[in-house]
Amino acid sequence: MSTSNYLLRLYQKCQRFPAGKRIFSALFARKAPYFASIRPLITELEPNFCELTFKKRKAVHNHIGTVHAIALCNGLEMAMGAVAEASIPKHLRWIPKGMQVNYTAKADSDIRITANTSPDDWKPGDLDVKVEGFRADGTSVISGFITIYISEKPTS
């Protein structure tokens, strides 16, 4: 698969190495250093879809020993950012505007996060990126959307 998108090119280039997904995830997490706090692994990235995972470990626990809500939101935001960067047409730009989530079950295992959009969504205005997090047994633990504002890039 050949692409002109810089992030997808980097993702594909990293896949040539044995630890390619880990390398790519670390590089992407450097864009916003707080992403690294959950030690994410981007397992799939393509236009309009991203999946990442992170382990349930003490550093992401809350007071009852489950994955903290902010760690979950951190994963949602990283997946959304990867989808936005991998999908947005070159003449547009984006910025986060808001987040609405529902916590639907205890996050008591490793976590899998997804973010997705439709190819037709990428036009100026608000875009709600669907985000969701799952336990190891497939149960949804958090779901919602992150609203991003899309605008034309300046011409000069």
Please tell me the predicted confidence (pLDDT) of residue 63. 95
CATH of the domain at 100: 3.10.129.10
Q: How much is the pLDDT for 3?
A: 62
AA letter at 118 = S
Average pLDDT over residues 151-155: 93
Name the band, by pLDDT with cuts 50, 70 and 90, for residue 1. very low
In a domain, 71, yes or no: yes
Give the structural domain span for 123. Answer: 6-152
35 found inside a domain: yes
Q: How confident is the model at residue 32 (pLDDT cuts 50, 70, 90)?
A: confident
What is the identity of the amino acid at 112? R
Cβ(72)–Cβ(11) below 8 Å: no
The tokens of 34 are what? 């707080």
Q: How confident is the model at residue 31 (pLDDT cuts 50, 70, 90)?
A: confident
Segment 39-54 mean pLDDT = 97
- Looking at the domain assignment, is residue 1 inside a domain? no
Query: What residues have CB less than 8 Å from 118, skipping those under 6 apart?
Result: 48
Query: Can you give the pLDDT at residue 47?
Result: 96
pLDDT, tens only, 63-122: 999 999 999 999 999 999 999 999 999 999 999 999 999 999 999 999 999 999 999 999
Residue 16 pLDDT greater than 60, yes or no: yes
Whether this model's pTM surpasses 0.85: yes
Q: How many domains does the chain have?
A: 1
Rounded distance between C-alpha atoms, residue 6 and residue 127, angstroms: 22
Residue 147 lies in a domain: yes
Query: What is the rounded distance in angstroms from the CA atom of residue 64 to the CA atom of residue 31?
Result: 31
Residue 55: band (very low, low, confident or very high) from pLDDT cuts 50, 70, 90: very high
Interatomic CA distance for residues 15 and 147, integer angstroms = 30
Q: Write the Ramachandran bin of 78: left for phi over 0, alpha for psi from -120 to 50, otherwise beta.
A: alpha
Q: Please, what's the largest Cα pairwise distance for the chain?
A: 52
Residue 41 domain flag = yes
Rounded distance, CA 81 to CA 146, Å? Answer: 10
